[in-house]
Amino acid sequence: MADLALLLEFYENLVKSRRFDELLWDAYVNGKPLGMTHLGIGEEAVGTATMKVFRETDIVCPHHRSHAHILMRGCDIKAMLSETLLKATGTCKGKAGEAHFVDAAKNLYILGGTLGPCYTVPVGFAYDFKQEGKGNIAVAYSGDGSTCEGAFYEGVNMAAAFKLPVLFIIQNNFFAISEDFRKMTGLNRLSTRAQGFGIPGVTVENGNDVEEVYEATKKAAEYVRAGNGPMILEIMTWRKMGHGPNESGTKYKDPEEQKAWLAKDPIKLLTAKLKEQYHVTDEQLKAIDDRVETLLQDAWEYAENAPYSEPEVAMQHIYAGC
């Protein structure tokens, strides 16, 4: 059971990542220039709860819908937002945007631009960790659609064969881009694919409950860290919006299923738990909301007023040592 302090930390990150995405949505619909933008509205519990489990020395590789993950990892919000707006003050000087976001100081590498490497590059990190023997693990995130890539089978197979310390997390939001994973795969749960590699596979049925996700991730990370080899942790959640801000997603979603999942909004679930079980007041939650809003508005003003990188910057940091 998570304690109150941890649940309040989760609440703050849920609100922060939700408002972060809403600011990006407002910018998009008002015609402001953005890099590639994938909103995680409704999915914030996955990144928030899982990231709290991992050590600073673990290497984490979120996918492209990962603002909650990045914020929970402790990346600087001004540099993060600047990168999303493609500014020189961004973590990668505005050259990566959100889909290729890297913060090496936080051991965070997003491999979301091309879907296959999200299952192969972390295996390389894990191989190195096994040689070091210090108990660090690599964490590979993906969506449901990426599990249909050939690299999924290659990466998981190698990790299983060498008993590498890598945790594969499938953030299953049902629809990849615009097709239901159940139609694409004939499966109701993707964690069952672990059986073909002889490794454990576990599904968190309510991935919008931060406490449930946190407890399941702790157990999974402990298993991998103990030298047992890899495992797959599938976390069921729901993509409230479309794949990108240019489409709504309504054409391929069942309205009743959408309604049922929206009733399990992660912020609403945690708010109810905080009030009912821990007697947290509206005033306490509003104080957190206000603090988050001030932080985001300051970061937005900073990022929007920041300069773009000069053209010659495009040729820097291409090779190691440059």
- Asked whether residue 11 is domain-assigned, the answer is yes
- Asked whether residue 197 is domain-assigned, the answer is yes
The 8 Å CB, 24+ separation contacts for 289-292 are 289/15, 291/12, 292/12, 292/15, 292/16, 292/19
Cβ-contact 118, 140 below 8 angstroms:
yes
Residue 61 sits in which domain range?
A: 4-307
Count of domains forming the chain:
1
Residue 320 has a pLDDT of 66
Contacts of 3 (CB under 8 A, 6+ apart): none
Q: What is the CATH number of the domain that holds 15?
A: 3.40.50.970
- Please indicate, yes or no, whether the overall pTM of this predicted structure exceeds 0.85: yes
The angle at the Cα of 70, spanning 137 to 78, to the nearest 5 degrees, equals 140
- Asked whether residue 112 is domain-assigned, the answer is yes
- Asked whether residue 207 is domain-assigned, the answer is yes
Residue at 157: amino acid letter: N
- Within 13 Å of residue 54, how many CA atoms lie on the same side as its CB? 30
- Asked whether residue 88 is domain-assigned, the answer is yes
Cβ-contact 101, 83 below 8 angstroms:
yes
- Asked whether residue 320 is domain-assigned, the answer is no
- Asked whether residue 314 is domain-assigned, the answer is no
Low-confidence ranges of the chain (pLDDT < 70): 1, 35, 112-113, 320-322
Render the burial of 180-191: b for 16+ CB within 10 Å, e for the rest. Answer: ebeeebeeebbb
- Asked whether residue 316 is domain-assigned, the answer is no
Residue 112 has a pLDDT of 66
**Residue among 220, 199, 195, 289 at smallest CA distance from 50:** 220
Structure tokens at 65: 């819908």
* Alpha-carbon span 299 to 315, nearest angstrom: 27
Tell which phi-psi region holds residue 286, choosing left (phi > 0), alpha (psi between -120 and 50) or beta. Answer: alpha
